[in-house]
Structure 1
Amino acid sequence: MSKLWNVAVVGATGAVGAQMIECLEERNFPVGKVRYLASARSAGEILEFKGKPVVVEELTHDSFEGIDIALFSAGGERSREFCPSAVQAGAVCIDNSSVWRMDPEVPLVVPEVNPHTIAQYTTKGIIANPNCSTIQMVVALKPLHDYATIKRIVVSTYQAVSGTGKKAIEELHDQIRAMLQGKPAECTVYPHRIAFNCLPQIDSFKENGYTGEEMKMVNETRKIMEAEIGVTATTVRVPVFYGHSESVNIETGRKITVDRARELLKSAPGVELADDPANGVYPMPIDAAGQDLTFVGRIREDESIENGLNLWIVADNIRKGAATNAVQIAEILIENYLK
């Protein structure tokens, strides 16, 4: 009989936490005992794991006794406060917040790109899950980088409201319904109306004029790809419920033809090629939602430079962009590192 592992899901009542639970079930992760942790206001709620009821417990520093793996998706402040307690209790933390991502002692992992870095978890007992928009981009770019060495990336994102959480999903739904009924749309989550609109701001603005989300893509891409690639990003929130889309332009050290790029991507792990624009085939959020693959299409040469390529990349931000990636890390962890 294979070993079973005790797993805690921190932030179990949130959008990503709920998806983590679903991914554990779908992928048949060898769970022994499961513990759902959340804030005091959610304590006592009853969720399920494989059809059996599980009572949500309040997250405290004593919540991790007997836990082997703790999946965190409860925000940066809670991760900063409670990950050390989980590690001290003997758990390995896989954290979805941005708190640990750029810590040089914490591996930042996308299993299709840099799984070898998971070995570094022993330093602090923490593995960081990258930003959702970064994950899907590097999954698609890794095979191209291996072939031709990417020198520069220009990316513009079109990000779904689910990236902000449950309240943002509800706000978009409520605003659409209100506007269709001729009523004013109330804004509480975003600074402006998101229904039938686009907001060129995700996270707060920094001194350099970029937002926090944009700088995450810049810095995380370099760390994951283990290369000093030039990266510039513009991130935009759009009125889509699930699925981030990205327009990505790369400049490479040597030429990649469209046909060669398609060949590389067709065989790349975690990638689904959807590139037949003449017949209306290209990645869309409605197709990526509920999937774990990263969809790539609209591949074409950038005719303004010698070695340039354009791609359109789409993935489910809650699944591959967060929950699935975390569970994939846990799978590699138990297979290769934990005994």
Structure 2
Amino acid sequence: MLTKGLIARALRNACSRSAELCFMECGRRVYKAIPTPSDYEPIATFCYYTGIHNHREFNLLINITDIDADFVKKHSVIEFEVGDTKVTAGAIPLSRDRILSNLQCRALVKIRMCDNELRLKVYRKSLVGNTCVADIALNIDRDIIEAKFPKDKWYSLNDDPYKKERIKLSFYKVSDGLNVIDNIVLQQAYMCINDYNESDIEVKINATNPQIMLLAEKLALLSYALEGHLIAKEDYVSQMRYYKTYLKDGKWYWSYWSCKPECRAKRNPQGSIYILSISTILKHPTDYSSFYVKYHTKDGPRDIIFKTVERSRDIWTDSIYLFIQNMREYLDQFDDLKSLENFVD
């Protein structure tokens, strides 16, 4: 009888706890679904100009590039929290020496007018659950907006002077019109355009509202995702190059320069690949920083192996695939690419 009583009591407590958790979760979801008054106009404008809230609603793209911490030695995950919204940036690769470089892990969070704080939490994964190993809070107005959306800035993850752990973050303000939630290629294109704007270099297209873009403008927008540093191995020789799309005589090339300043100075490229001549793009099966491209010239097929420097290998391959696909769709409607010259730098 005693054993039956203990079992019955344990089951009753477990059911009560489950019902309590279910009720709390339902309440949280209902509360989260209730909008705040400042989510609607004209109340939003009133709250902004009267100083009730210090910023408008916007989308914030967060880019994680480097981590220097012990938790990367074990399976971990990064989560961003704004108000009642939680966004997972993704799993962190393992590193034996506690340092991860050129991680390019990203997350997009929606900042409402009533949101004041952004929290970054790191969880160590285990069989029994996740354990929070780092938690930092950033003031949205002071640390992000007034700081002009910091780029490549290190943030400390703890206060221990003998065990310094830090993470490098970049912040980008993204317009509501730019759909960057699921499209990593558009994210990369937007970040490249932002780099041009910060360097006071004029960009001919307006990337803030792609819904009303012409087909030519959308293709020009995607072209920015193909710009950046790569280590190219061709004819048994490896060389650091800076790649960028290059429009000439109505044809689009993927050209390269020895460095970024030479490219931005609009000097003649050192070499080019006619983009529509690319026939094969393969990801290396074991080296996650390398990919293979096969293209064709008048002298026959050529092979080149790329090693990434500053972004994920998958971003490069997806960008090339998507750009070629959109270019073919454009050429199905137009004879050539000459009309794009008004949108390409």
How would you bin the TM-score normalised by the shorter chain?
under 0.3
Computing the radius of gyration over CA atoms, which structure comes out larger, 1 or 2?
Answer: 2
Q: How does the TM-score come out when normalised to structure 2?
A: 0.28
Q: How does the TM-score come out when normalised to structure 1?
A: 0.28
Of Structure 1 and Structure 2, the greater strand share is in 2
